[in-house]
């Protein structure tokens, strides 16, 4: 069961380009390839899935237990894991949850992507430091990115050869590979009209400048991954109506698969298409980008009316973007105020953005997600007002108590926390 981790010394080095290019190039060879993303990311996995035709999983070394990680990573395919941030960057205070933890726990060799645009011989001490920092994290090779010329590449390769570090490829500076982005990261895969062409360009670049056979040989050095079913999160209801479209795209596949495997029925609907909420025991509005579609959501009266009606007979839970949709108003970045469902006494705004970011441990005795959860908060929305009974007690990654999170009213509840796994 081969596999490897694509990591870098820092964010912005080109991990995503290398990962997508490898997934696409290797799948074009007819190989069974599967992508995974380190940490709480909803956007990169959609690109992974499009690149290789297999659903991408999240592997979160902070929020998931070790047996959960092994169960998700198990399988016969070559597993290509894209790291987050720098190799050893994780949650405070000690970096727990870094992608290095995944390499250690899952026995994955590391392919280190180095942005070499502004360095030459200094690449050697940089890579040597990363290679020696943790003996249990095995850096098996380097891909040099944004190389300026053949002469530049020669200097870089000679320097790394002197420390015995294999160079598996060198990507030149390339046009047409940049990712459009917005405040939560990349534009979603389904929003790119040129997605196939973009992925093919990345694959062509990687195939031309990275030794794919050497990458596969490195992946073959991964430790065996046990075939284990692992723990499963019980479904919050028997029949679940899940909002799914460009405004509500952020639902973790591992949770949905857990629920289906235990007999839950999940039916999807599109608020943006003004579809009525299906009959269900639980209506789930996941996160996404409702602020980009606030006008359409406010005008979707069939959806809004059915959601309000459903609140009398079904549990309703909103997560981040879904939580904002359950409120009274949502103010977009241009200052326009849009009327939302009015099921919670909540007003949010993107007119003056402020980043809220970090892992959380949350707990509640109410609603469909009662219990203790490992979660993550990542949004720019400002809460203008929030009145009523809080949903979660919360602490941050260091165990420091935070103000209570979310709101609940009758059968309706929600918060900004993205629930990842049972704590």
Q: Which residues contact 262 (CB under 8 A, 6 or more apart)?
A: 232, 234, 235
Query: Could you give the CA distance from residue 234 to residue 278 in angstroms, rounded to a whole number?
Result: 22
Question: Strand ranges (DSSP E) for 104-188?
Answer: 110-115, 139-147, 167-172, 181-182, 185-186
The pLDDT value given to residue 92 = 94
For residue 410, what are its two tokens? Answer: 């009758």
**Segments making up each domain of the chain, as ranges:** 3-219, 239-422
CATH class of 239-422: alpha beta
Taking a C-beta distance cutoff of 8 angstroms, is the pair 348, 327 a contact? yes
| Burial (CB count within 10 angstroms: exposed 0-12, middle 13-18, buried 19+), residue 388 | middle
Among this protein's residues, is 413 annotated catalytic?
no
Taking a C-beta distance cutoff of 8 angstroms, is the pair 398, 303 a contact? no
Beta-strand pair 418-422/265-269: unpaired
The pLDDT value given to residue 354 = 87
Neighbour tally for 157: CB within 10 Å:
18
For residue 122, what are its two tokens? Answer: 């200094």
CATH number of 3-219: 3.40.50.300
Q: Which of 363, 359, 381 is nearest to 372 (CA)?
A: 363
The pLDDT value given to residue 14 = 94
Query: Could you give the CA distance from residue 73 to residue 84 in angstroms, rounded to a whole number?
Result: 17
Query: Could you give the CA distance from residue 4 to residue 189 in angstroms, rounded to a whole number?
Result: 23
Count CA atoms within 13 Å of residue 262 on its CB side. 17
Query: Could you give the CA distance from residue 236 to residue 264 in angstroms, rounded to a whole number?
Result: 9
Neighbour tally for 404: CB within 10 Å:
16
- Going residue by residue through the chain, which has 423 residues, state the pLDDT in tens, using 9 for 90 and above: 799 999 999 999 999 999 999 999 999 999 999 999 999 988 888 999 999 999 999 999 999 999 999 999 998 999 999 999 999 999 999 999 999 999 999 999 999 999 999 999 999 999 999 999 999 999 999 999 999 999 999 999 999 999 999 999 999 987 666 655 544 445 666 666 778 999 999 999 999 999 999 999 999 999 987 666 677 899 999 999 999 999 999 999 999 999 999 999 999 999 999 999 999 999 999 999 999 999 999 999 999 999 999 999 999 999 999 999 999 999 999 999 999 999 999 999 999 888 899 999 999 999 999 999 999 999 999 999 999 999 999 999 999 999 999 999 999 999 999 999 999
For residue 10, what are its two tokens? Answer: 């820092």
**DSSP H or E run through 404:** strand 401-405
The pLDDT value given to residue 174 = 79
The pLDDT value given to residue 224 = 85
Q: Which string of b and e fits 161-196 if b means at least 16 CB within 10 Å? A: eeeebbbbbbbbebeebebeeeebebebbeebeebe
What three-state secondary structure class fits 103? Answer: helix
Angle CA 38–44–49, to nearest 5:
105
Alpha helices in 29-149 (DSSP H): 44-52, 66-73, 99-106, 123-133
The pLDDT value given to residue 231 = 78
| Active-site option among 52, 99, 320, 413 | 320
Query: Could you give the CA distance from residue 388 to residue 381 in angstroms, rounded to a whole number?
Result: 19
Domains 3-219 and 239-422 share a fold: yes
Query: Could you give the CA distance from residue 50 to residue 36 in angstroms, rounded to a whole number?
Result: 12
Alpha helices in 53-134 (DSSP H): 66-73, 99-106, 123-133
The pLDDT value given to residue 191 = 64
Q: Which string of b and e fits 239-248 if b means at least 16 CB within 10 Å? A: ebbbbbbbbb
């Amino acid at each position: 069961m081969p596999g490897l981790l694509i990591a870098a010394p820092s964010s912005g080095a080109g991990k995503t380009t290398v990962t997508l290019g490898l997934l696409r190039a290797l799948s074009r060879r007819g190989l069974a390839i599967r992508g995974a993303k380190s940490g709480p990311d909803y956007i990169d996995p959609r690109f992974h899935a499009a690149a290789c035709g297999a659903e991408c999983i999240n592997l979160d070394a902070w929020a998931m237990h070790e047996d959960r990680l092994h169960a998700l990573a198990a399988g016969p395919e070559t597993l290509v894991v894209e790291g987050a941030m720098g190799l050893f960057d994780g949650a405070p205070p000690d970096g727990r949850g870094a992608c290095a933890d995944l390499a250690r726990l899952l026995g994955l060799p590391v392919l280190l992507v180095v942005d070499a645009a502004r360095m030459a011989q200094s690449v050697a001490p940089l890579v040597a430091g990363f290679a020696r920092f943790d003996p249990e994290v095995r850096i098996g090779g380097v891909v040099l990115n944004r190389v300026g010329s053949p002469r530049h590449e020669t200097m870089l390769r000679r320097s790394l050869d002197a420390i015995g570090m294999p160079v598996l490829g060198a990507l030149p500076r390339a046009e047409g590979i940049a990712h459009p982005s917005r405040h939560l990261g990349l534009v979603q895969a389904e929003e790119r009209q040129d997605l196939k062409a973009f992925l093919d360009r990345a694959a062509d670049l990687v195939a031309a400048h990275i030794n794919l056979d050497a990458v596969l040989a490195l992946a073959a050095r991964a430790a065996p991954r046990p075939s284990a079913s692992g723990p499963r999160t019980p479904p919050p209801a028997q029949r679940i109506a899940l909002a799914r479209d460009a405004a509500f795209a952020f639902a973790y596949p591992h949770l949905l698969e857990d629920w289906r495997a235990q007999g839950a029925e999940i039916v999807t609907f599109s608020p943006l298409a003004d579809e009525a909420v299906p009959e269900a025991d639980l209506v789930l509005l996941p996160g996404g980008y409702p602020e980009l579609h606030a006008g359409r959501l406010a005008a979707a009266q069939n959806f809004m009316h059915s959601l309000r009606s459903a609140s009398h007979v079904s549990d309703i839970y909103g997560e981040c973007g879904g939580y904002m949709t359950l409120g009274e108003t949502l103010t977009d970045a241009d200052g326009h105020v849009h009327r939302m469902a009015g099921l919670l006494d909540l007003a949010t705004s993107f007119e003056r953005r402020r980043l809220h970011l970090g892992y959380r441990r949350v707990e509640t005795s109410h609603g469909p997600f009662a219990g203790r959860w490992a979660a993550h908060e990542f949004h720019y929305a400002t809460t203008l007002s929030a009145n009523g009974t809080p949903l979660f007690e919360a602490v941050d990654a260091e165990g420091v108590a935070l103000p209570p999170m979310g709101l609940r009213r009758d059968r309706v509840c929600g918060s900004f926390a993205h629930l990842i796994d049972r704590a």
